[in-house]
Structure formats: structure tokens, C-alpha cells
A and B are shown apart, each in its own frame.
Chain A
Amino acid sequence: MIQAIFEYEFLQNAFLTGLIIGVIAPLLGAFIVVRRLSLIADALSHVTLSGIAASLFLSKTFVVFNGLNPLWLGMGFSVAGSLFIERLRTVYKHYQELAIPIILSGGIGIGVIFISLADGFNTDLFSYLFGSVSAVSRSDLWLILAIAVTVISVVILLYKELFLLSFDEEYGKASGLSTRFLHLVFMIMVALVIAASMRIVGILLVSSLMTLPVAAAMRVARGFKQTIFFSIAFGETAVIFGLFSAFYLDLAPGGTIVLSSILILLTAIAFKKLQAMRK
């Protein structure tokens, strides 16, 4: 594959995109997991699906939309979905998790309608669902790179505020943080990262790349910064290993990446157990 990467542009795209999302998905994932928002990430990925389906339908039906990259609409839906979740969470103050099934089923519902309007599944859609090594275009790569630069900068610049928001929201408020604004920024970043990651891991498996490496990191790391670094290291390993095996075995990378993540997670758990036993 190393050789093939130099020869084929599509492989370069896939590999570079993979390396990028291997950083940003676990980076945000660390905050998502500690804030117990994993299911929200899942719900948002399904909203992204409806955006993709809408875009595929539009480009099939109207000539004007022909060259439209589905990522844009997916991103738009995902961000809109994150804002909508926030509204729902304030409406159902004491049942905040209700927002999740509402958004999740809404996302699939709209997605399914557009899919049937566009006369059913095609390979394009399949690649969005489970990821693909061959479908990432140069323009996808640029868009994903832009998202990554934005997300990484925001996390670095607002690290201490995001930490406080995650660890102790009330104390954050008492220190004068605008926690509502911060939370909104965070949710928008999550929506962007989901849209970016979906090209490689697929909509159905995006949230796993945000949570599995973090779950593994929490077993072995000490402190939050270390958790983030380990999460990224595990995420990258899973992506690289997953992409190679997907390429050689001709499989959807979503599956191979997730299986690699699970393997890493099991290793981390076993490592921790062994360590405890030796003491």
C-alpha cells in the first residue's frame, strides 16, 4: 500500500484524511466521553445521514445541484441538528436524554424519505454509511483539513474553559464563564468533526472513533491531558491499521477501523488487569 499511495491519488486522499480524523475525532471524543454525551454524537451522525441523502437526492433530481459535494449539506444538517438538540435540552430540562431519540429517529426518518425519493440505495450512499478507501476526493480532503485546523485551534485556545465546562459546569459559571456559549461552540465542533469523519469511517461508525480510543485511554492514562494524548495515539493506530487491512482485504474501512479500536480497547483493559494483579 505504501507504494500504491504514491501512485494513486485516491489512496493519498483516503490516507491523509484518515490521519486527520484519527486526531480530531478522539480529541473531541475525550470531552464527549467525560461529559457523557456519547449518544448525542451518535444522534448527530444520523442527522448527517439525512443531509447526505438530501444532497444525493437533489443532485440526482436537479441539474443545478449536480456538482454539489454532499459533505456540505451533511455538515449543515449536522450543525442544525446540534442547535436543535440544545433547544430540546432546555425544553426537557429534567429529561435531557430525550433529545437523543428525538433527533436520532428524526435524522433517520428524513434520511429514509430522501433515499426512497432518490430511488433507493446506490454505491455512493453505501460508502457514506460504512466508509470507503476509494471515495475520498481532493475537495473532501481540503474541506476536512479546514475543519481539522478550526477544531484543533479552538480546542487549544479554549482548552481550560472546555476543561472546566466538562469537569464542573457550575463552578465554571461561578467563575464567570459563559457556559451556554461555550457549550454551543463545542456542539458545533462535534457536528463538524462528525461530518468530516464520516467519509472514512462511515456515518454508522463515526461515534465509535470518538469514543472507543477514549475508553481505552481512560484505562491507562493519568489526568485529562494524558487521556487526550493517549486517545489520539490509539485513534491514529486504529485508523492506520484499519485502512491498511481495508485496502488489502478489500473491506469497508469503517468496519476494520472499529474492529482495530476494539482490539486496542481490549488490550488496554487486559494491560490494566495485569498491572493490578502484579501489585
Chain B
Amino acid sequence: MESSNVIELKNIHYRYDRDLVLTNINLAVPKGAFLGIVGPNGSGKSTMLKIILGLQKPRKGSVVLFGQQQSKFREWERIGYVSQKANAFNTGFPATVYEVVASGLTKKAGLFRMIGNKRRPQIEKAIQAVSMEEFMDRNIGELSGGQQQRVFIARAIVSEPDVLILDEPTVGVDSKNVQTFYDMLERLNKELSITLMLVTHDIGTITNKVTHVACLNNTMHFHGSTEDFEQVKDNELSQFYGHDVQRLHHDHDHSNEAPTL
């Protein structure tokens, strides 16, 4: 039987080379939640996601996915992922948008199987969800950064995962498409009951949309429902970002861009 939490972190500690980046992290993501993760640069948000995805091994603590210990977990197609550095790939790579999105089905299709024409409607649907159908046969390197980001979002949702993990997915996406994107996330969350984990610096937007909030700064400062977060919000955020929280509400697009490069 699956527990009601799709993802659980228990007492996670992690260091790269020197100092601890994550200390004693506990996190529980209930099924169907839309969790917003906030925290300043270098606070360990991406690292925490990588630990969930098995890309980094924690020094201490345990990761439980769909009620199973991570080491025993095999159904990775149930978790979709858009990394923060998604468009730091080799831009000369000769792959079309269609091929890139199709590669999101690698695990789902199964070993030794082709991703054939039978799956074409599914792939096209994901491409339409991010409004990129016009560019389907274009090489990925011939797109703008924001368009590339949308392709990577399509790749993450094509396998119809149960959980979608997004690390600052809207960096470089223009405001019209950011809006469409958040609307799409809400639809995925409400209609298809996909659980969402979203790292963002865009605090204004997320408090309108998310059901849960996690504030991270090497340790977990706050983790709970959005209503509870509203009570402590200004206090928590000024601790992290300095007292000028208001500036962040307006300036988030610019503050996001630099660290991803």
C-alpha cells in the first residue's frame, strides 16, 4: 500500500566538498499537493531536488518515494523533472523538438522498445501543452532560451508522471507564457491530480497558487500549508532576503537570470 505522501525526506544531511549544504532536512509532500520551495541562492534547493531524484546521494538520512525506499524504487517514469540548468545543454546537438520531447518517454516505453508512431499523439499533446507545435521539426539549438525551456517542460510532462519536479522552470520564459505555464500547472494539479514541486523566487505568484510552502536555507525554516505560511511570511522572507521583500515581488525576473548561467 502506498502512503499518502508521495515524497518524504527524513533527516537528510548533505555536503559537496566542504560545508554542509543541507542539515537535518525533513520534508513530506502529500499526494496532490502543489508545493512551492523558496530560499535564497545557494540555500540548497536544487541540491535537495537532486537528492530526491537520486542524482546525489545524501550523507545521512533517507528518501522515501511512493512509500518505497529510494534504493528499491524503480518506477522513475512516475517522476518528471525540469532541471535548473535544462538549457545549459550542448546547443549544437542535432535533435528536433519532437525527438527531445519523445526522449521523455525513454523509461516508460521500456527497455529494448522503440518510441514508435503509436506514441505520436501523446508526444504532440505535450508539445501543444507548451504551445510549441509550430516548432516541432526545428532543431532544438535553433530556438530561443525561453522556447527551449518550454520544450524541456514538455519532455517532463510527456510521460504523464504522478509527480512533477520543477527547478525554476520559468527563468527566461516571457510573462505571457509564464502565465500560461502557471495555468497549465494548476490544471495538471487540479484536474489530473499531479503532485507538483516547484522551486521559484517568484513569491507573489506562488502564494496565490500553491497549497504548501517550504522555506529552505540549508536547514528547513518553514514547511507547511500556504495559510500557515501567510502568518509568518513577512518574517520568514525578510530573514532570508533582507528586509526589502517588496522589491522581490517586482524584480524577480531579473534576480533569477544571473545564477543559471
Query: Residues of A at under 8 Å CB distance from B?
Result: 34, 36, 157-161, 163-164, 166-168, 170-177, 218, 221-227
A222 touches B139 (CB 8 A): yes
The 7 lowest CB-CB distance pairs between A and B, nearest first, are A176-B76, A223-B96, A174-B53, A175-B107, A227-B94, A224-B95, A157-B112
Chain B contacts for A161, CB-based, 8 A:
106, 111
Task: Report the minimal beta-carbon distance from A15 to chain B, rounded to whole angstroms.
Answer: 31
Query: Residues of B at under 8 Å CB distance from A?
Result: 53-55, 74, 76-77, 79, 81, 83, 89-90, 92-96, 98-100, 102-107, 109, 111-115, 137-139, 155
What does DSSP make chain A's interface, helix, strand, loop or mixed? Answer: helix
B139 touches A174 (CB 8 A): no
Whether A174 touches B54, Cβ cut-off 8 Å, given contacts A223-B95, A224-B94, is: yes
Give the CA-CA distance A173 to B51 in the complex, in Å: 12
19 residue pairs bridging A and B, Cβ less than 8 Å apart: A34-B90, A36-B90, A160-B105, A160-B115, A163-B99, A167-B93, A167-B100, A168-B103, A171-B81, A173-B54, A173-B55, A174-B76, A175-B77, A176-B77, A218-B92, A223-B94, A223-B139, A224-B94, A227-B94
A160 touches B109 (CB 8 A): yes
Most chain A CB inside 10 Å of its own CB: which residue of B79, B107, B109: B107
Give the CA-CA distance A34 to B53 in the complex, in Å: 26
Give the CA-CA distance A12 to B2 in the complex, in Å: 63
Chain A contacts for B98, CB-based, 8 A:
223
Task: Report the minimal beta-carbon distance from B71 to chain A, rounded to whole angstroms.
Answer: 12
Chain A contacts for B114, CB-based, 8 A:
159-160
Chain A contacts for B95, CB-based, 8 A:
163, 167, 223-224
Which of A158, A159, A176, A223 has a CB less than 8 Å from the CB of B107? Answer: A176
A176 touches B74 (CB 8 A): yes
Chain B contacts for A225, CB-based, 8 A:
99
Q: From B155, which residue of chain A is reached at the shortest CB distance?
A: A171
Give the CA-CA distance A93 to B152 in the complex, in Å: 27
Give the CA-CA distance A224 to B95 in the complex, in Å: 5
Chain B contacts for A221, CB-based, 8 A:
94
